[in-house]
Amino acid sequence: MKKQIVALAAMACSGVSAQNKMTPELLWSLNRVSASALSADGKSVYISSKKYDLKTEKGKTTQSVISIANGKKKKFTGTEGKTVFQQTETEWYAQDDNYIYKSTDEGQSWSNIGSMIKDAENLKVSPDGKYIAYSKEVLVAPTLGKDLYKDMPKTTAQIYTDLNYRHWDKWSDGKFSHLFIEPVKGGSAKDLLEGMPYDCPQKPMGGAEDFVWAPDSKGIVYVCKKKFGKEYALSTNTDLYYYTIKDAGTTNLTEGMKGYEMNPAFSTDGRFLAFTSMKTDGFEADKNDIVVLDMATQYKRNLTSAWDETVSGFKWSNNSKEIYFTAPWKGTEQVFSVAVPANLKARIMPAVTQITDGNFDITGIVGETNEELIVSRTDWNHAAEIYAADKQDGGMRVLTHENDALYSTIKMSKIAKRYIPTTDGKQMFAWVIYPPDFNPAKKYPTLLYCQGGPQGALSQFYSFRWNFQLMAAQGYIVIAPNRRGMPGWGVKWNADISKDWGGQPMDDYLSAIDDISKEKYVDKERLGCVGASYGGYSVFMLAGIHKNRFKTFISHCGLFDLKSWYGTTEELWFANWDIGGNYWSQNAPESYSKFNPSNFVHNWNTPIMIIQGGLDFRVPIEQGQQAFQAAQLKGLKSKFLYFPNENHWILHAQNAIVWQREYFQWLKETL
C-alpha cells in the first residue's frame, strides 16, 4: 500500500460560526456536484452543479470548467436548456430536444451542427467527429391492446405471454432501447438491434457507459443481454458486442463468459479493451473483476482474479500502462491501481496497489493529470465534491467548493470506527455516527441501521434519504455495522449472506446493537431499528426475534413474505440465487421457513412504520400492505406511508421531505 497522507480535514468556510444542525430542507438545498471529463490538455475539469427547487421539484444545472491548478471556475455560456454530454480532443458537444451543438472554446460559444432525432438519449460522437451514436426506444414486441388492435385506440388492455412483463418501475409496453449510429452531417441511421427484443443500454439503470467508440472510430462496442422473457428474468449473462461500420458486422467479444460483462473502455492507444466481469450467471453480486482484451489477438486476461475484493468502477491511465479503479475497502470506497502487462500472456500476476485511504468514499474517477487523479469524493458529513488525489501518496486537495457556504453554518457529526465480536468468533466493523455537540455524560436514543443490497457496501456514502448526518443532527446515535454480505472485507464475507438472509446476518445486527448498548451514553430503553430493501427485510425479521431489545421499527420497501415476493418480483435470478429457488419444489429452500419474516409475526410486539412505493416492482406493494395489515390486526401502533408515484427509492423532492418529516415524527412518537 502506498503511504497515506492525511486528506484535508475540512473545506474552506466563509467565516460564519456553525450554529445550525442539518434539516431535511437544508439537505435538499445542497448543490449536487459531478464531473465528467478533463480538458484535452489536462489543465481543467468539466463539472455540473445541480440545485433543486422544492416548490417546482425541478433541478437547475450550472455547467463550468474548473482549473485544476488553482480551482478558478469559468461558467459555460449559452447552455440554458442544453445538456453537455461529451468532450473530445478539441471540442465540446451538447444537445437539446432537437439539435446537437459543438463548442471549440470550452463552452463559451456553441454552433448548431445538425438536426437530431427527437427522444434520442445517451449521445456519443465518434472520435473523428463523423458519426453520432445514441439510444432510442423502439416498438418491437407489441403488448398494449391499442398497438395490437388499431381500431381500439382507447383500450387500456395489456397482454402478456411471457415473464419480464414489468421491470423495476415500468410495465412492458413492447418497446426496447436500441442503439443507433448515423452520420453527424445527416444520413440514414443504422439500428444495431433492428427487430430484436433486446436492450442497449441495459434496463433499468444502464446509460451511456453501456457503449463506447473505438479510438479509430471504425466501430463501437456495446453491452447487451440477448435474452427475452423468462430467459431474461433468470439470467445475468450480458455480453460485449463489437459492431464495425465498414462491413456492418457484429462480433461477440465475450462469448462463453457467463455472468455480467459491463463497462467497456478502450485504452488510449486502442490496443486493449477493458471491462468488468462476473463469472457466475444469476449471481448479481458476484466478485467483479477487471478483464483486459487484446483487440488484435482476442486474448483475455483477468487482472484482479487473485485480489480478494470486488471492483466498483475503473479508468484507463493516459499511457495505457495501468488501470485505476475504485473498490469497497473496510467501510469506505478507495482508489487502487493495477498494471496492464505489455504481454497479456505473461505469467506474473499484476499487483494491485492502494492509492487513497481515509474516512471517505471515492465515488468516481474522472481522469488523470501528470501527477494527480481527479476524483469525486463524499463522506457522511459532506455531499460530493471534486478533488485532486496525488497518484503516488494519495494526498488530496479539494477543487470545488459548491456547498462550503452552507457547511460553514452547520455543526458536523463526529464519526467513529468500532470493531464488534460476532457470535461465530469474528470481528465485525461498524461506523458510529454521533450527534453534533455529543456529550458522553448524557444518554442518547440509538438507531441500528440495516443496509440493503443485501451485498451493498456500507461505506461513507452521502444519501439524500438515508442520511446519517441528518439523523444524528436530530439527536440520535446511529450504529451502521458491516454485517455479513458486505464487500470490502473479502470475497467470502461478501458471499456468505446468500441463502442465509435470516441467519448469521441477523446475529451480526443483534451483536452490533448489544455492543453499542454497553456504552453509558446509550439509552438502552430507547433503541430503534431502521432500514430499506434487504434492510427493510431485516427490520421485519428482527421485529420477530429481537426479544424486546428495540422500542420501534421503520421498514422501507422491505420483503415481508418470501413466497408472495417470489411470485411478484421481476429479476428472478436474484431470488433464485439468494433465496435458493422457488417455494413449490419438493425440496424447497429452507429460507421460506427459517428466514421468512411473515412466519414470525406472532412475536411482533413493537410499534412499526412501513413505507412503500406504488411503482416498486422489485419489492412490490403487497409486501408493505401485508406487514401493515398484520401489525394492525395484532393491535400494534403502526403507520403505513405510501407513495403512489415512487419506485424502490424516493426520487421526488417534496416526497423526500415528507419522507423525512414522517420518519422523524415516528421516532419522536415512539422512541
The catalytic residue positions are 533, 616, 648
List the grid coordinates of 257: 463468459
The sign of the CA dihedral 170, 173, 176, 182 is: negative
Under DSSP, the state recorded for 545 is H
Question: What is the amino acid identity at position 368?
Answer: E
Could you give the CA distance from residue 630 to residue 531 in angstroms, rounded to a whole number? 19
Q: Residue 410: in which H helix or E strand, if any?
A: none
Nearest-5° angle of CA 413, CA 414, CA 417? 135
User: What is the helix (H) or strand (E) element at residue 573, kind and residue range?
Assistant: helix 572-578
Can you name the residues that pair with 136 across neighbouring β-strands?
Answer: 178
Helices (H) and strands (E) in the chain — how many of each?
A: 13, 38
> Which three three-digit cell numbers place residue 235?
439470467
Q: Which residues of 454-475 are buried (b: 16+ CB within 10 A; e: fewer)?
A: bbbbbbbbbebbbbbbbbbbbb
State the alpha helices, DSSP H only, in 202-297.
230-234
Q: Which amino acid is at 447?
A: L
| Alpha-carbon distance values, 263 to 35, 207, 212, 288, 289 (Å) | 18, 10, 9, 11, 11
**Strand 444-450 to 477-481 pairing:** parallel
Strands in 451-551 per DSSP E = 477-481, 522-532
Instruction: Give residues with Cβ within 8 angstroms of 1, minimum separation 6.
Output: 353, 354, 357
